Amino acid sequence: MQKETDIKTKVKNYIIESTFDDVEKIKDDTLIFEEGILDSMGLLFLIEFLQEEFNLTTNDEELVVENFQSINSILSFIESKM
Amino acid sequence: MKATRKPFSKDILHIENIETVCNEIIAKLKNDVGRKLQRRGAVIGISGGIDSSVCMALSAKAFGPKKVTAIMLPEQDSSDDSRLLAEKLAAKFDVTDTLIEDITKALEGFGCYKRRDDAIGRVITNFDPTVDKAKIEIKQDAASNLPPVFSVTVIKPNGDIVSKLLPVKEYLQIVASTNFKQRSRMSMLYYHAERLHYAVIGTPNKHEVEQGFFVKHGDGGADVMPIGHLYKTQVYQLASYLGVPQDIIDRTPTTDTYTAEQTQEDFFYQMPFEQMDLIWYGWENDYPAVEVANVMNKTTQDIENIYKNFERKRKTTEYLRMRPIF
């Protein structure tokens, strides 16, 4: 099983690479949708990333803000599925 | 002195002076087409939907029915009702230059259906496009605080329904394939417009323009958009005033794009247009969420989330409204 810090780094790097954003702009608790860092297409690409990187399938009922609103939330979501 | 504005109410979008508003649109159409664009008439694609019907009625009044060419552009997935209603509309406004251009073969040439069905088949493996019906839809509530994402739904001949969240590659391929429909229609409209030295009348309403519910260089490709500033509720008000046939007014707005029945609400807007119009107006005019919530029987939090949803849609679709950058 991957370490929590590794997972967090991978998610953070993915978001930074896909948005071309500055690393210091995205903190672990930054609200990535509320602050416009990712939009609906960004969410779809993020779901694809989770599938490819962690072999994690997202179901319709898991598409709630609590699972995706920040890097911390995504981390909790990944851990809950592992 | 600070101007006082109307308190938010369910009637706030009602047009009081409908005759004046129609006459202003008609005068503007004449000026835009005749003076600015230097064209001698109008070509319009009619689908049997409310927006194209109102635009055709306005065009017939602006240019006279003899200077309007109304074109039906069905393809294999179009409903037969659409054609019948479009014919009824043209007859009602004495537009006799009506054409039917079936674009199915053109779409087959582009591989529209095959590319779309291949993508659906990768998600729902037992999808059989020869007998199954399919559509894509947003299942989340508009008040959800997460951006909307699409699911694909397949309806089997026995009524069984299979629905799955669309992975990004398949979602993009389905949308890109079906967009051939709107772009082929646009090409055909411009063929006739150029042949006749007419202008192409675009039919999107305010929501379609501002929320990006149109295809760039497809139904978004036109010379003038006479109802681009009107809310859907107001388009209905114009339809009644102008005498659009009642069965067109009573019809639920559909996309007429996928093989399964699909309302615009399922596909994109996530709420009935009567609600959406009012909340959009509230958002656009900075009415506090609490004031709108009281009138709409919703919680303040719901309205705040819907405001965010609108903001996101406008921002996400900015690309569609942008001109080429140079």
Task: Determine the Cα angle at A54 with ends A51 and A34, to 5°.
Answer: 65
| Res B146: pLDDT | 79
Q: Domains of chain B, with CATH numbers?
A: 18-108+174-321 (3.40.50.620), 109-173 (no CATH)
In terms of C-beta density within 10 A (0-12 exposed, 13-18 middle, 19 or more buried), how is residue B172 classed?
A: middle
Alpha carbons within 13 A on the beta-carbon side of B203: 26
For chain A, give the mean pLDDT. Answer: 88
Which one of A40, A73, A77 would you mutate to disrupt binding with B, by most B Cβ within 10 Å of its Cβ?
A: A40
Question: Does the residue A22 lie in any domain?
Answer: no
Q: Put residue B117 in one of left, alpha, beta given phi > 0 → left and psi -120 to 50 → alpha.
A: alpha
pLDDT surpasses 70 at B126: yes
Q: Which range (A9-18, B117-126, B186-195) has the least confidence? A: A9-18
| Res B262: pLDDT | 65
| Res A65: pLDDT | 87
Q: Residue range B221-250: average pLDDT?
A: 96
Measured between beta carbons, the chain A residues lying within 8 angstroms of B317 are none
From CA B88, how far away is CA B251, in angstroms rounded? 14
Nearest CB among A36, A44, A58 relative to B315 is that of A36
From CA A62, how far away is CA A39, in angstroms rounded? 17
| Res A63: pLDDT | 87
From CA B112, how far away is CA A80, in angstroms rounded? 40
| Res B216: pLDDT | 94
Q: What is the DSSP string of B235-272?
A: HHHHHHHHT--HHHHHSPPB---SSS--BHIIIIISS-
Bridge partners of residue B45, in order along the sequence: B71
**Interface membership of B317 toward A (CB under 8 Å):** no
- Extract the runs of DSSP E, i.e. beta strands, from chain B: 42-45, 68-72, 98-100, 133-138, 150-155, 161-165, 199-200
Q: Do B145 and A36 touch (CB under 8 A)?
A: no
Tokens 């890097």 found at: A71
**Interface membership of B319 toward A (CB under 8 Å):** no
pLDDT surpasses 90 at A22: no
| Res B212: pLDDT | 84
**Interface membership of B147 toward A (CB under 8 Å):** yes
Q: Tell me which residue range forms the domain holding A38.
A: 4-13+30-81
| Distance from the B163 Cα atom to the nearest Cα atom in chain A, whole angstroms | 10
Specify whether the CB–CB gap between B50 and B244 falls below 8 A. Answer: yes
Length of chain A, please?
Answer: 82
Question: Does the residue A51 lie in any domain?
Answer: yes
Q: How many CB pairs under 8 A join A and B?
A: 57
Mind listing the pLDDT tens digit for each residue in B40-61?
999 999 988 999 999 999 999 9
| Distance from the B231 Cα atom to the nearest Cα atom in chain A, whole angstroms | 24
CATH number of domain containing A66: 1.10.1200.10
From CA B219, how far away is CA B213, in angstroms rounded? 9
Q: Residue range B237-241: average pLDDT?
A: 97
| Other beta carbons within 10 Å of B174 | 24
| Confidence at B171, pLDDT banded by 50, 70, 90 | very high
Work out how many domains chain A is built from and give that number: 1
Running DSSP on this structure, what letter comes out for residue B33? Answer: I
Q: Which range (A72-76, B78-82, B151-155) has the least confidence? A: B78-82
Q: Three-state SS for A33?
A: coil
**How much of chain B exceeds pLDDT 90, in percent?**
72
Mind listing the pLDDT tens digit for each residue in A34-68?
888 888 888 999 999 999 999 999 988 888 889 99
- Residues of A within an 8 Å Cβ radius of B: 33-34, 36, 38-45, 47-48, 51, 58-60, 63-65, 68-69
Bridge partners of residue B153, in order along the sequence: B135, B163
Q: Do A59 and B165 touch (CB under 8 A)?
A: yes
Strand-strand pairing, B133-138 and B98-100: unpaired
Question: Does the residue A19 lie in any domain?
Answer: no
**Amino acid letter, residue B194:** E
| Res B74: pLDDT | 94
| Res B143: pLDDT | 62
Tokens 């659409």 found at: B82
| Res B173: pLDDT | 97
Specify whether the CB–CB gap between B248 and B49 falls below 8 A. Answer: yes
Bridge partners of residue B263, in order along the sequence: B254
Q: Which range (B2-16, B141-155, B232-246) has the least confidence? A: B141-155
Mind listing the pLDDT tens digit for each residue in B75-96?
999 888 888 888 899 999 999 9
Nearest CB among B139, B146, B312 relative to A64 is that of B146
ipTM: 0.77
Specify whether the CB–CB gap between A33 and B146 falls below 8 A. Answer: yes
**How much of chain A exceeds pLDDT 90, in percent?**
54
Q: Residue range B235-241: average pLDDT?
A: 97
pLDDT surpasses 90 at B303: yes
Cα B59 to chain centroid, rounded: 18
Task: Determine the Cα angle at A34 with ends A65 and A28, to 5°.
Answer: 75
Specify whether the CB–CB gap between B168 and B149 falls below 8 A. Answer: no
Q: What is the DSSP string of A43-73?
A: HHHHHHHHHHHH--PPPGGG-SHHHHSSHHH
Question: Does the residue A24 lie in any domain?
Answer: no
Strand-strand pairing, B150-155 and B161-165: antiparallel
Q: Do B168 and A45 touch (CB under 8 A)?
A: yes
For chain B, give the mean pLDDT. Answer: 91
Specify whether the CB–CB gap between B52 and B82 falls below 8 A. Answer: no
pLDDT surpasses 60 at B232: yes
Question: Does the residue A45 lie in any domain?
Answer: yes
Measured between beta carbons, the chain B residues lying within 8 angstroms of A36 are 312, 315
Q: Do B145 and A69 touch (CB under 8 A)?
A: yes
